[in-house]
Structure 1
């Protein structure tokens, strides 16, 4: 067995892992290793050839591979080792032991600190239970994207997309540019699941119909998809009888949500949030297992890779400090809870004495709402308050609480509320 010790081990070399590893090295960790199951680093960015990345982080618009390459270059310059084609099987959490395997055999990595950055996976047809037979021509949007952008294979000619997530809308545009006819995008919710900018640039600009509050009730075809039956849904998301109509197509792409990839996290004993399905973390991105940190889409599904990079740099910084003996354990811990109209909060707790400048908190709302007030408070103390014209479940909201606002907090819990403003007569 190949055995070794490193200061910081990062699992997953996508955008989160690359940023975390670079930050750990810059913070002073001598031995940093990236463990990646694929044959190259970059993660999902390698197949995202469209632009729109880096506007917040770099101040310029980049394609996915360009964005990844900048972090890969930094990691190379810093001398960070990459263990590619290596699959992590399990983690002994309390002892920081990583059990993995590659073509050379079993690998055991002992680390001063571990960073989980495995990203997320797509929901499949089975998880949303679409009736019908099982013909060829049904793909997840990410799989179709990889076939098209990496392997140069077009998956179909007449396409219906289920779900208005960002990757679904982006693939609607991509398939159109490749000469396919995208018949419709079907969304079960009464609102958009992805970014508004993607609806404008990928659907509206190409005249692709979007059916909100609709779902597919049947997929027709034996060897190959021949068409789908679509129906309107009620407020309980149940098909409304008599509203069915058919769309002829040979391909169905599913963009029905992403799930943080935490099978390995479970082996380490990491506690998972029941809403996000990602690790419960504090403001240093440390999980309930001391010395194990998590960042990026493995924690919660982000809509911007720029935010993933920033969040992951935080994890890398604190992981390096932990490995150097600055454990970050102990002290006051203040829980963070979702309040009115808020679906979840990340981080789920804050350590006031471990906050240097500010704490960034991320959340999604439960429903589209206009003219709202966002407020974070701990007891009678207001930590943050701002107005916003519009909030949407498809876009992550972010608030920043300065360290001085958190100073002195010793008990209670931070609650974030989104409240619709009253219209004055």
Structure 2
């Protein structure tokens, strides 16, 4: 048996995918980096103050390394070590979209399926260390779960959202459920961080096939009703608190309010792409991200031209898109099993007792030591253990409920 054999015959159109960036594209990237102008030093680009932006010296060295030392082919081979596919799916209004995904299929008859969803400025390769760990630890015959890792619409090799209409989380969840059921999974679990957590919540709310969800990111705008913090609330935040939030998350507001301008500006130049996304990798990582890893993210964004098509959900995130907002506390109590992992360097430090008010929290863990926003990348063993523990807790909860 091999990791690329699904347990059932798929009912959706699938084709195998291999990442193969032409050498001319790699050469063009180096040429563009060499010709890109570096702006003059400023106080803001040289001071050690964190929230004024990425530092010029770092950009200078990262550009040099990208041009001279970075080995794209080595990273491409690493990605291609996993079975990858492209599924042809349809939106509710019959628009055809291709969704790329990596997979590790188990040959165990009773193995549950888990779909893992990434965020921005990440992509599916956030889960590569976890999948490498699983391949080293298990054979297809012993792998406990089927692992499905799609690229969100607009990211890497997945189709961008349509240009003819708005596209939201309900659309993405519809495609995810179609993908999982089309692969032969009548039921499945979902896991997500960052924007992937919002998609995961949407799956659980909209589709019976999704048995439960595990998230490692919870972004809530206010303490949920019933928490001590909600009772102590004294009204709207002070202006200084608002400004501090804008200083930290101003990039999200820019991507929500001016997606066309920032999309074309950042996406048209590799040095701009490195500067804009690199800042977030540096700021949000709980464990310092290696330059090779960071440049693999940025290179994959560049070669697939996905920056401008990958920020569509920020209007959803910031409440500027019609329909349900991103805050899970505004959508009602989730009756399905919920699992929550809180890593110490996560940018949203939402406490566990808040999560208890959002859904049927059957499992949670507050991690100590290391780990941040890119938890699956930084702490693959811990993330995998958390998902396994959550699934067992969800199964036990279901078993107990069936005997009531």
TM-score, scaled to structure 2:
0.28
Between structure 1 and structure 2, the one with the greater Rg is 1
**Structure with greater proportional helix content:** 2
**Structure with greater proportional strand content:** 1
